[in-house]
Structure 1
Amino acid sequence: MSAIAISISKMNLKPGEAVVLSSAAILGVLSWFYPDRALFTEKRDIPNGKSYPIVGALPFIVAHKNKIHDLFRTGFSMTNTLNICNSVIGLPTIIITIDPRNIEHVLKYNFENYVKGPMLFDATEEVLGHGIFTSNGEAWKYQRKAASLIFNVRNFRDHFTALFIEHIDIAGKYHFDQAAERGSIVDFQDVMFRFTLDSFVKLGFGVSVGALQTKGKVAFAEAFDYSQRNSYERFINPAFKVTETLATLMMPWRRSPSYYFKVMDDFAYKIIRQRRQELSEGKEFKDLLSRFMTTKNESNESLNDEELRDVVMNFIIAGRDTTAQTLSWCFYCLMQHPRVEQKLLTEINALMTDEAEADPAVLHDVIKNMKYAHAVLYETLRLHGPVPANQKMALEDDVWPDGTLVKKNDYVMWSGWAQAREPRVWGVDCHDFRPERWLNQEGDLIRESQGKFIAFHAGPRVCLGQNLATLEALVAIVYFLRRYRFTLVPGYKVEYFASLTMPIKDGLRVQVERRSSPS
């Protein structure tokens, strides 16, 4: 660099010209040292995604942020491996994999070496805080242990199934029946978000939100959706603290992120204050919130309101968003594949009995035996998993099963969305919605490895609510499909909306007809 400076000084340039020329020369030298990766990152023996000198993948990611999962898929299609390496200026190296062996290694077999890193916490702090999704070690363990006591078979049979049916009836009364009578269009995804919000908040926190009966937008839901998108954008913007502040200063008429964070906090703290008041009056509860109110944290102290607030937010994103989005994508797929819809409806009508209609406990057992319904659900989760990508940070160097070297402080990411569309993982028909891939010749369900089917995560952090979410989704599929025929509005374009989860952009606009009788 000093040689460049001496050479420029001999040119008798004006100060401004010297600065420009010096900067260009320095950039030229840096580009020579970092031709395909971000500044100060190490060259890796892993194929790069699209990358530029000095700044790495940042420009390409920002330009394609609304189609980020397609970007991952394109990266894998350009290589002969199932791993790609991304470097972004200002961020650690990120290794992305869709190899089932590597994913299972990270999440299960070498679990202790991979943690939720600071990048995740920084991006989601105001949404998830120190809840179960962002915490590690003892903080994660006490939360998982407390929550696990709620998710038992007795609760499923005796309480949860009846609660889901109650809210399905409300959804029908206030949305689908009216749309069928009036011939109006309804946003199916919006109804599903309201259904799962009402169901899970009642189930987990003993509070009736009444989102299904509310006309217009639900303030909490709007704030929660905005905040998730904001968190997602922070992942691809190393300077988000600066840009968010500047945006607030330059556009004071717009609602800032802090406005939406406050809406969410007010919602959670209201639930917590109400429960503390009820407990002080001697009332007893056995739901998720009460379980945490009697739990000790990693310091062996009772949880304060801020810790309980994080509990509420983490379990709402788990209980509301994931199931609502899965149901939305499922019915979209059924509308696109009438053969599958008819085959599913035939199974449902064959197995449903008057006793099952009258007794939620019997219905619970009947649904467990609907194998094609399970296959439809699993195929939806394969193609449109509600958490399309996830990441962790390596504590120490590691070697993956395919020989890839991961270094300390590397971030590793796995993309279920890209993996589902990879012929080397799921076969040449991977893009097809084909539930039959989940059934063997005898008609029994096939169980894939956790590294290949990662909709419910894997290893010690496998989804606690897997059985609950499966039950809720299947009950909703059975009841909505038996009662209604949904048709996508002609010409309506359906695509994903890039966020922490996988909603449908602009909702799912459908027309509704009541089914006069099982068919």
Structure 2
Amino acid sequence: MTFMQYHAILFFLSCLMSLYFYFSFKSRRSSLPTNWPIVGMTPSMSWHFHCIHDYTANLLKQNGGTFMYKGPSFANADILFTSDPDNYNYISSTNFHNYPKGPEFREIFDILGDGIFNCDSELWELHRKTTISLFKDDEFLKLVEKTMWNNVEKKLIPVLEYMSEQGSRFDLENIFQRLTFDGIMNLLLDHDPKTLAVELPHHKLEGAIAKGEETLFDRHLLPKYCWKFLKLLNTGKEKHLSKSFKLSDEVFYKFIYEKQEKGTKANDVKKEQVEDQSLLTGFMREYKDQTGSSGNFEKFIKDTLFNLLIAGRDTTSSALTFFFYLLAKNPVAENKIREEIHVQSGIKEGEKWKPFGTKELEKLAYLHGALCEALRLFPPVPINHKAPLEADTLPSGHRVNPGTKICLHSYAMGRMETIWGQDCLEFKPERWLSKPGGLKHIPSYKFTAFHAGPRTCLGKKMSLIQMKFVASTIVYNYQVELMMGGLPITPQASVILQTKHGLMFMIPQIHQYLFPLEQPFAQMSSSSSAALFCTRCLPFNKFKSYQVLLSCTYTKRESGVAGVSSGGSRITDSWNDH
């Protein structure tokens, strides 16, 4: 090496070190990640990708609720993150028409096609009008209630009884995903895939959806050219998304073509539609009335149904998962819910458990507050994507140009002291209750689990009813025990909030008044509709091999007072805030 070469190398290294110390010093003076030349803030985001929701939530907290993430300078990947309620209200309501999903969103979520979550303007108006019409139909609402009851009585209860009898640890998140998948497929296609059974059978579409959702989240942060190149090669996570795409086409087109063929052969189409109240039949009828059958009608229907599948399966299962996670960490709240159910149900000693109807569920104010509190802390859709059509200035003072990617951060909003007070990280159902025992109204631009403005979730009421129905059944009849064994509970980087490792539970029984037993566990199959009768309490010695003290919560009710007769230890794994 010559003398000149040696000095050139030293000079180059000195420049690199100077740049490093300059940007490091600049970063220390700011709460934002270091904005490096060329690559921007990508290194910091990549380093914290395993806890991206908490990481960005902390950045928002430190920067007044809004900050600009600078992506690589060559990739047009800058993102404005905001958890400011005024910004949220302005974007989702006040100036709604200037903030559509935008073409980049449609590119990222290409798997959703022309469904309601992926379109704007006239097409979105058509979807919204049609969906509202079907959701308000009395016959459809009866079908929803019937489907919920059947799935709980003939599927969920037998599976939970089996797990309880066996003393097994099981993934409650997986159970809820199967429950909601079976339910939404029934409503959409009048088809029961039977994924929720004792054997926990595999279903190719149900298993592929979660993998695909992880890929969609990656697309938000990766430069467009990067994920498009991976898509072209059909490799990595893009391969999983492609598989989900093909499976959804295969499943939905099959039912669409069968429905068309059946409708063609039927002499009385109206009679056929009365007998079949599925959303597939309803959408086919409504869209033909409004648009005719010209164009790619089958694809349009498929996109519509797949969008509703994602909404019906994932958001409800996510909400229920984190609801029971929080209950397992807050036994006082769990007992208050159980007492409220006992008082409102009027069930007496020796009587069989009678699930609530929709009207009775509305009386469970504390349960409603607990569910809203879980949705506040763990919104199923942690971020929403927007892009302005015209240049604008947000209420926070931030200037946005046409096409600027904006992420409305619902996950962070539930953790902002400026919105919820210093106890914002605490699980307090009382936060939602007014003094006379009613419910407080929280503006949708502060409590954003169901979004806000014209794009507010159309299935909000239906989703809450389903969650209350499932939650009341489980809480009253079982004691939920979190059994993670020291494994950290962290969120998966996905467009739907899910856990990375699942949530392992055991559920000792409380009451003996579920449903009459007609066959033993050993004889049960996935097609069995027999419900089970539980014993008073599972003996403690069944669980000795697990070396865990379980709560025995059977309570005699002769005195009319509900309570926990004896308590045990609780696993206190905490959510990693990083």
SS class of match (1:394): coil
Is 1:291 matched with 2:282? Answer: yes
Would the alpha carbon gap of residues 491 and 152 (structure 1) be closer, same or farther in structure 2, given more than 3 Å must change? same
Q: Which amino acid aligns with 1:230?
A: T
Residue aligning to 2:443: 449
Q: Which amino acid aligns with 2:376?
A: R
Q: Which amino acid aligns with 2:503?
A: L
TM superposition score normalised by structure 1: 0.86
CA distance, structure 2, for counterparts of residue 175 and residue 450 of structure 1? 36
Residue aligning to 1:334: 327
- Long gaps (5+) in structure 1: 1-12, 37-45
Residue aligning to 1:500: 495
CA distance, structure 2, for counterparts of residue 113 and residue 230 of structure 1? 28
Residue aligning to 1:370: 364
Is this contact kept in 2: 1:416–1:454, CA < 8 A? yes
Q: How does 1:332-481 map to 2 (within 5 A)?
A: 332-353=325-346, 363-481=357-475
Larger mean Cα displacement after TM superposition, 67-76 or 290-299: 290-299
Cα distance, 1:352 vs structure 2 = 1.2
Is 1:74 matched with 2:61? Answer: no
Would the alpha carbon gap of residues 173 and 438 (structure 1) be closer, same or farther in structure 2, given more than 3 Å must change? closer
- Long gaps (5+) in structure 2: 25-29, 267-271, 513-554, 556-561, 563-578
SS class of match (1:95): strand
Larger mean Cα displacement after TM superposition, 57-66 or 408-417: 57-66
Residue aligning to 1:186: 170
Is 1:205 matched with 2:205? Answer: no
CA distance, structure 1, for counterparts of residue 337 and residue 137 of structure 2? 25
Q: How does 1:245-264 map to 2 (within 5 A)?
A: 245=232, 248=235, 257-264=241-248
Is 1:101 matched with 2:86? Answer: yes
Would the alpha carbon gap of residues 24 and 451 (structure 1) be closer, same or farther in structure 2, given more than 3 Å must change? farther
Is this contact kept in 2: 1:68–1:498, CA < 8 A? yes
Cα distance, 1:321 vs structure 2 = 0.3
Greater RCO structure (CA 8 Å; 6+ sep): 1
1:112 to 84, 97, 100: 97
Is 1:300 matched with 2:291? Answer: yes
Q: How does 1:209-288 map to 2 (within 5 A)?
A: 209-213=193-197, 215-238=200-223, 239-245=226-232, 248=235, 257-282=241-266, 283-284=272-273, 285-288=276-279
Cα distance, 1:402 vs structure 2 = 3.1
Residue aligning to 1:65: 49
Which deviations, in whole Å up to 9, do the C-alpha atoms of 1:151-182 show, x marking residues without a partner? 22735763322210110123335421111111
Residue aligning to 2:548: none
Is this contact kept in 1: 2:51–2:490, CA < 8 A? no
Larger mean Cα displacement after TM superposition, 227-236 or 346-355: 346-355
CA distance, structure 1, for counterparts of residue 444 and residue 204 of structure 2? 37
Q: Which amino acid aligns with 2:282?
A: R
Which deviations, in whole Å up to 9, do the C-alpha atoms of 1:400-440 show, x marking residues without a partner? 22333222221221111111111112110000011111112
Q: Which amino acid aligns with 1:146?
A: T
Residue aligning to 1:309: 302
Is this contact kept in 1: 2:40–2:71, CA < 8 A? yes
Cα distance, 1:26 vs structure 2 = 12
CA distance, structure 1, for counterparts of residue 50 and residue 326 of structure 2? 22
CA distance, structure 1, for counterparts of residue 502 and residue 256 of structure 2? 31
CA distance, structure 1, for counterparts of residue 45 and residue 467 of structure 2? 33
Is this contact kept in 1: 2:156–2:196, CA < 8 A? no
CA distance, structure 1, for counterparts of residue 357 and residue 290 of structure 2? 43
Is this contact kept in 2: 1:156–1:468, CA < 8 A? no
Is this contact kept in 2: 1:50–1:75, CA < 8 A? no
Would the alpha carbon gap of residues 157 and 228 (structure 1) be closer, same or farther in structure 2, given more than 3 Å must change? closer
CA distance, structure 2, for counterparts of residue 349 and residue 391 of structure 1? 42
Is this contact kept in 1: 2:327–2:334, CA < 8 A? yes
Q: Which amino acid aligns with 1:323?
A: T
CA distance, structure 2, for counterparts of residue 261 and residue 516 of structure 1? 44
Q: Which amino acid aligns with 2:402?
A: K
Residue aligning to 1:163: 147
Q: Which amino acid aligns with 2:329?
A: Q
Which deviations, in whole Å up to 9, do the C-alpha atoms of 1:71-111 show, x marking residues without a partner? 212212332x2211112121353211111111011001110
Would the alpha carbon gap of residues 223 and 292 (structure 1) be closer, same or farther in structure 2, given more than 3 Å must change? same
CA distance, structure 1, for counterparts of residue 298 and residue 398 of structure 2? 44
Cα distance, 1:273 vs structure 2 = 2.2
Residue aligning to 1:7: none
CA distance, structure 2, for counterparts of residue 324 and residue 372 of structure 1? 20
Would the alpha carbon gap of residues 369 and 49 (structure 1) be closer, same or farther in structure 2, given more than 3 Å must change? farther
Cα distance, 1:291 vs structure 2 = 2.1
Is this contact kept in 2: 1:198–1:211, CA < 8 A? yes
Q: Which amino acid aligns with 1:417?
A: Y
SS class of match (2:116): coil
The CA RMSD measured in Å over matched residues stands at 3.4
Q: Which amino acid aligns with 2:501?
A: D
Residue aligning to 2:518: none
Which deviations, in whole Å up to 9, do the C-alpha atoms of 1:313-349 show, x marking residues without a partner? 1001110000001001101111110000000000011
Would the alpha carbon gap of residues 157 and 457 (structure 1) be closer, same or farther in structure 2, given more than 3 Å must change? same
Q: Equivalent pairs: percent with the same residue?
A: 28
Would the alpha carbon gap of residues 491 and 170 (structure 1) be closer, same or farther in structure 2, given more than 3 Å must change? farther
Which deviations, in whole Å up to 9, do the C-alpha atoms of 1:3-50 show, x marking residues without a partner? xxxxxxxxxx99xx99x9999999999x89x979xxxxxxxxx98555
Cα distance, 1:297 vs structure 2 = 8.2
CA distance, structure 2, for counterparts of residue 354 and residue 276 of structure 1? 47
